Amino acid sequence: MDDFLKYVLDNHTQIDKKLHEKLVNRLLVKEGVDKSLEWLRGFQSSIVGHFMMYQEIEEFKEEHLVLPNGEVNRLYEYIFDLDRYPNLIITKIEGLEVLNLTYNSDTKTISGVPNSMTSTKIDIYFSHKKEAKESEEIKAVYLMVNANPRNLWKDLPSDPNGAYAQSDAVARKGVFLDKKVVGASKRGRSHAHIGSYRDDSFGFADLCKGWSLIAVADGAGSAQYARQGAQLATSFIERYFNNEELLDSLDYAILEQYNLLNEDIVETEILMLSKVSEILSGGVTALFAELETFADTVQIKLDDMHSTLAFTLCKKYASGYLILSFSVGDCPIVVFSKENKTVKVLNTLDVGEFGGGTRFVTIPEIYQEPLSKRLNIHFTPNFSHLFLMSDGIYDPKFGTENNLDDLVYWNDFILDLDGQNEDQIKVNLVDDLIADEELLLWMDFWSKGNHDDRTLVIVY
């Protein structure tokens, strides 16, 4: 306050400056002056307080606030970060109603599901804690809602009267050994957009002699009748192995060499015996002959039915489960144990060094190589899940085939199936009355750039 008194002397009197300091000291001890100075200090503090308040208000008004874009039919949530403005309160926001959004002042959150594509101005009403309650400021910002990319894709039905027509989606569930099984296949968006057919196929069945089978086939999108190749592959393999005499021979070959009644046996890969290899390879070579015959009969090229194939033959023994598998192409076969925290890919995918290396059961060169390299025998005392899927599932969910061996990815995949996903769609494998319908709904998940047919079979 000394400086203030000196300022008054300097600017408003003609008193000699030599006397200024003495005069200030004398003035400070006067009671009336002291009260005046006290009032001046309070006034100064009040002025500074108002300046600081107005500064905070103006800085918030001038801040370049960019709200993230919303997306039609997708949950939008934005929380205001007011750490830089601790004294500001956003009381309401006008203009959100046209976007189907609301503002919660307690959580400082804009939320809702936008229902239309638009760009609109919204007014943010706010006040300062130290300002009069009736005083409100307004800050205008723009909020844009983009089109949902899902809505840009058409869903045109395929021609039910076309050659080798099959449904655009199919799902079923049933019993598999002493477990349950659910499977679904859904046409990809790339096919639905132009009204073309689903090219994937799958099947599962309880066979005779205590065996069960699953088969998944992924028809090549570039092949005109790939859907027929895939359907023939899965249905033929099921018919071929549902043969008592053949399965008797398989049982004899297995029990003769493997001690599967030993309850102490652990999870392991088993050496492929020539007799078992011969029986499994016989089914695959018979399939190729069936495909050739069909192509000749209807006068189409075998290449027009290009399809991958993966199948498993499974049997339950006292000591556990024997899983025989075969594959051509890029459909993974995976056994997963949630309890033991283990995952095992039972086949080698034909994906090529740089992708695009998928091979098909319709390629003659496949049968000029030892088919035993494509066979696998796996034994496990128990498992929580057995998965067969097309690349329409594993590409978006696992990224690369290397991640199929990663337990972290599988734990995330199980959680995804359990409803921890963007759409919050759960495939209930406990109360599984409508698990087939739920799996089909789950398959409609969005993954940018992944629009192929999707097929998944789960034993649980």
Q: Is the dihedral of CA 290, 296, 300, 301 positive or negative?
A: positive
Cα separation of the two ends of the chain: 83
| Whole-number Å distance between alpha carbons of 182 and 388 | 11
Percent helix, strand, coil in the chain (nearest 5)? 35, 25, 35
* Structure token pair of residue 244: 């008592």
Place of tokens 């760009």: 119
Map residue 449 onto helix, strand or coil.
coil
Name the token pair of 138: 């307004």
**pTM of the entire predicted model:** 0.79
Name the burial class of residue 161, with classes exposed (0-12), middle (13-18) and buried (19+) by CB atoms within 10 angstroms of its CB.
Answer: exposed
**pLDDT (tens place) for every residue of the chain, 460 residues total:** 566 667 677 776 777 777 777 767 766 666 556 666 676 666 666 676 666 777 888 899 999 999 999 999 899 999 999 999 999 999 999 999 999 999 999 999 999 999 999 999 999 999 988 776 667 899 999 999 999 998 889 999 999 999 999 999 999 999 999 999 999 999 999 999 999 999 999 999 999 999 999 999 999 989 999 999 999 999 999 999 999 999 999 999 888 777 665 556 667 777 777 889 999 999 999 999 999 999 999 999 999 999 999 999 999 998 899 999 999 999 999 999 999 999 999 999 997 554 456 799 999 999 999 999 999 999 999 999 999 999 999 999 999 999 999 999 999 999 999 999 989 999 999 999 999 999 999 999 999 999 999 999 999 9
> CA 460 to CA 178: how far, in whole Å?
10
Six-digit token pair at 70?
């919303």
The pLDDT of residue 175 is 97
Strand ranges in 187-238 using DSSP code E only, listed in sequence order: 200-206, 211-218
| pLDDT given for residue 13 in this prediction | 73
User: What pLDDT shows up at residue 354?
Assistant: 43
**What span, in angstroms and rounded, lies between the C-alpha atoms of 385 and 338?**
8
Tell me if 379 sits within 8 A of 265, measured CB to CB.
Answer: yes
In angstroms, the CA 297 to CA 216 distance is 25
Is the C-alpha dihedral spanning 37, 39, 42, 47 positive or negative? negative
Residues 154, 156, 158, 160: what is their CA dihedral angle, to the nearest 10 degrees? 160
Give the C-alpha distances (Å, rounded to integers) separating 87 from 104, 133, 255: 18, 13, 79
Among residues 124, 411, 120, 183, the alpha carbon closest in space to that of 312 is found at 183
Residue 440: its H or E element: helix 435-442
Cα angle 363, 366, 372 (rounded to 5 degrees) comes to 150
Q: What are phi and psi of 147, to 5 degrees?
A: -65, 145
Amino acid at 259: N
Q: Say if residue 82 is exposed, middle or buried (CB neighbours under 10 Å; 0-12, 13-18, 19+).
A: middle
Asked whether 219 and 200 are in contact (CB, 8 A), the reply is yes
